[in-house]
Chains A and B, each alone.
Chain A
Amino acid sequence: DTAVSQTPKYLVTQMGNDKSIKCEQNLGHDTMYWYKQDSKKFLKIMFSYNNKELIINETVPNRFSPKSPDKAHLNLHINSLELGDSAVYFCASSQVSGLRELFFGEGSRLTVL
């Protein structure tokens, strides 16, 4: 029973297209995140939501639009894809009180051609 699940696992698309990645967590956590891992494996936070409310938007281009329909789901929509958007996108969740552990999904590898 996967705790944080992302779909799709792989996306290959052309420049200029729009794509979405979906994330769901069944841990009952109140906070969810999107992280981007580039080709050098550097992990950088993009967004954080708490109970459907946007808490962090880390200077991400507005072509990236997260949406949280409820606290168990956080989706990422990307418009007008660029070559530099190629990366692995990780969804994560945590409970803000108590332990601060982030639970990550397996990632969605986006390749823009």
Chain B
Amino acid sequence: QQQVKQSPQSLIVQKGGISIINCAYENTAFDYFPWYQQFPGKGPALLIAIRPDVSEKKEGRFTISFNKSAKQFSLHIMDSQPGDSATYFCAASMRDYGGATNKLIFGTGTLLAVQP
């Protein structure tokens, strides 16, 4: 119930193409769904996040699509660039522990390679 399943494990996209990464969750108590981007040798950094009361959120070339009934959400990267090559993690969290922490449950990660 605490798991977040992510696919694909790796993805190769041509420059200018669309990258799509999918995640699914079971626990309906999750109420915050961020995507993190990690470059080699660096820590993960927040890319974009969504709450379940909206079905889509767009920030520049990055869009989260959220399907509450299916308990799925996805990241779309439009006009993918070589600089987008990184590992992407979906995650989920819920208000718990009396609101004293923002524990994130991460997906297994997707290694994206954008070829020039």
Which of these binds chain B: A14-22, A38-46, A71-79? A38-46
Whether B41 lies near A45 (C-beta < 8 A) is: no
Complex contact B89–A102 (CB within 8 A)? no
Cβ–Cβ contact B101 & A106, under 8 A: no
Interface residues of A in 92-113 (CB under 8 A from B): 92, 94, 96-97, 100-102, 104-107
Partner of A107, one of B43, B45, B102: B43
Across the interface, A55 reaches (CB within 8 A) one of B44, B101, B105, namely B101
User: Does residue B46 face the partner (Cβ distance < 8 Å to A)?
Assistant: yes
The stretch from B52-60, B75-83, B92-100 touching chain A is B92-100
Q: Is A81 an interface residue (CB 8 A)?
A: no
User: Complex formed: what's the CA distance from A15 to B60 in Å?
Assistant: 47
Q: Is the CB of A56 within 8 A of B101?
A: yes
Q: How many residues of A contact B (CB 8 A)?
A: 26
A43 touches B44 (CB 8 A): yes
Is B102 a contact partner of A94 (Cβ separation < 8 A)? yes
- B interface, size bucket: 20 to 34
**Is there contact, CB below 8 Å, between A41 and B45?**
no
Is B71 on the interface with A (CB-CB < 8 A)? no
Given A4-B43, A55-B97, A106-B42: A41 in contact with B102 (beta carbons within 8 A) = no
Residues of chain B whose beta carbon lies under 8 Å from any beta carbon of chain A: 32, 34, 38, 41-46, 49, 87, 89, 93, 97, 99-106, 108-109, 111
Sample of 15 further A-B pairs with CB below 8 A, known A45-B104, A45-B105: A4-B43, A31-B102, A33-B103, A41-B111, A42-B108, A42-B109, A43-B89, A43-B106, A48-B101, A48-B103, A55-B100, A90-B44, A101-B49, A104-B44, A105-B43
Q: Which residues of A contact B (CB under 8 A)?
A: 4, 31, 33, 40-45, 48, 50, 53, 55-56, 90, 92, 94, 96-97, 100-102, 104-107
